[in-house]
Amino acid sequence: MIRSLLFVISIMLLTGHVSAQSPYDRTFKVRKSDAPFLAGPDAGAFQKGTIKKGTDGIILRWCRDEFPFRDWAFGGRSKHLKLLNERVCEVSVDGRIGFMNGRDLKPE
């Protein structure tokens, strides 16, 4: 019984039928154009630099507000983008830590 269950779960994972991946377990890239790289999450935060359009491998460390897991896990691409649009996130980009507006990010 347990072997059968494990087999079914592994097939679902391999074929992509399970997509309940947390936003913190994947990487992101810059969505449309160069994006500000900020010192803090608040409006008017100092801009430390710019992250170029197309930069990938961006890791989310945390976001304000947190993502509602159910909405993210079962939402699909358009829901993911909507949720990102409503947040500002601390990110790691090429070893640098800073903040980006979620509207500047998209899942890879």
- CATH number of the domain at 58, please: 2.30.30.40
- On whether residue 94 sits in a domain, the answer given is yes
What order do you get walking across the sheet with 88-93 strand by strand? 47-51, 35-38, 96-101, 88-93, 58-64, 27-30, 105-107
- Evaluate whether residue 72 is within a structural domain: yes
Q: Answer whether residue 16 is part of any domain.
A: no
Global pTM?
A: 0.78
Is the Cβ–Cβ distance between 91 and 55 less than 8 Å? no
How confident is the model over 9-20, as a mean pLDDT?
50
Amino acid at 80: H
Give the model's pLDDT for residue 7. Answer: 54
Domain that holds residue 35: 22-107
To which H or E segment does residue 8 belong? helix 2-15
What distances in angstroms separate CA 33 from CA 16, 90, 104, 107, one per listed residue?
30, 19, 8, 15
The pLDDT of 32-54, averaged and rounded, is 96
